[in-house]
Amino acid sequence: MLRAIGRYSLSIVHELGDFALFTGQAFRSAVGARRLGRRIVRAGFEQGVRCLPVILIVGMFTGLVLGLQGYYVLNRFGSESLLGTLVSLSLIRELGPALAALMLVGQAGSALAAELGIQRNTEQIAALETMGVSSHAYLVTPRLLAALVVYPMQTALFVTVGLWGGSLSGSVLLGLEPGVYWSSVEHAVKAQDVRECIIKAVTFGLLTISLCAYHGFNAHRCSSATGARAVSASTTRAVVQSSIIVLAADYIITSFLV
């Protein structure tokens, strides 16, 4: 029993070290990588534009629900005028970065893990190496650098749409004066809140994309399965671990910044 726990702990430490080296290698590979700009733009398109519909839809519904629930709770205390404060701070500090990251994990992260897994399975990654092309520089670095830009932008979009959703709920559907709603948003949100939001978005982007890339890239190392099942297993692991790490990192960052 003790031996099994020890072996499991060692394997986690080993994997963490391996993941850190993988991410470091991806950043190091940016130095001297050819035509990196183009690949970053392409990766940004894949992560950003393709995820746009889901970000808009989920952002709108999150704002609508927050507006609805917040209005009824605040109404009990006669504080409906604070609806803008509740919606804006909830979205900017917590829900925006976390939910946008989870949406991106589901859309861009899973696609990345599966794509790299298949490329590993079909020897496309080995082919790059035999050509003298760094597979990290070609496949991972552009995605990682694009994520550092795209995630904050998607989060900002999520928050903006969410605020409009809250306004739609509170003002249009429940009769709160729009000016009251937007005025309380303006008074509540401070530069520190926006900074916290950006820090979280950048951190989540870095963690999730590197984790999804790590699992896809190493699909051949999957001990429990081979071939297509290994790709499926590594994609599942990538999505599950990324989702957990987003929420864990959210708690850690919040506890340091609040």
Partner 1 sequence: MGADSNQMLLRIDGLFKQFDRNVVLDGASLNVPRGSLVTVLGRSGAGKSVLLKCLADVIRPDSGSIHFDGRLLSIGDASARADFRRRCSFLFQSNALFDSLTALENVALPLEQTTDLSDKEIRERSLEALRQIELEAHQDRYPGQLSGGMQKRLALARAIVTRPELVLFDEPTAGLDPLRRNAVFAMIAKYQRQFGFTALVVTHDLTEALIASDRVALLDKGRMCFEGTPAEFSASTAAMVGDFRDSAEALGRTLAAIRRGEALQSEDS
Q: Is 210 left (phi over 0), alpha (psi -120 to 50) or beta?
A: alpha
Structure tokens at 178: 């729009």
Q: What is the CA radius of gyration of the chain?
A: 21
Kindly tell me the sign of the dihedral angle through the C-alpha atoms of 8, 13, 18, 19: positive
Say if residues 48 and 148 touch (Cβ distance below 8 Å).
no
Structure tokens at 58: 């989920």
Q: How many residues bind partner 1 (CB under 8 A)?
A: 16
Choose between 146 and 161: whose C-beta lies nearer to partner 1.
Answer: 146
Interaction pattern, residues 5-24, with partner 1; x per rule: CB under 8 A: --------------------
Choose between 46 and 196: whose C-beta lies nearer to partner 1.
Answer: 46
Q: How far apart are the first and last CA of the chain?
A: 41
Shortest Cβ distance from residue 127 to partner 1 (Å)?
Answer: 4
Shortest Cβ distance from residue 240 to partner 1 (Å)?
Answer: 26
Q: Which amino acid would we find at residue 218?
A: N
Choose between 132 and 175: whose C-beta lies nearer to partner 1.
Answer: 132
Residue whose tokens read 């409906």: 80
Shortest Cβ distance from residue 112 to partner 1 (Å)?
Answer: 13
Shortest Cβ distance from residue 220 to partner 1 (Å)?
Answer: 12
How many Å separate Cα 52 from the centre of its chain? 13
Q: Site residues for partner 1, window 35-74 (CB under 8 A)?
A: 35
Among 14, 34, 50, 229, binds partner 1 (CB under 8 A): 34
Shortest Cβ distance from residue 47 to partner 1 (Å)?
Answer: 15
Contacts of 213 (CB under 8 A, 6+ apart): 22, 26, 112, 113, 116, 139, 140, 143, 144
Choose between 124 and 183: whose C-beta lies nearer to partner 1.
Answer: 124
Shortest Cβ distance from residue 111 to partner 1 (Å)?
Answer: 11
Residue 4 burial (CB < 10 Å; 0-12/13-18/19+)?
exposed
Interaction pattern, residues 111-150, with partner 1; x per rule: CB under 8 A: ----x---x--xxx-xxxxxxxx----x------------
By CB under 8 A, name the binding residues for partner 1: 34-35, 115, 119, 122-124, 126-133, 138
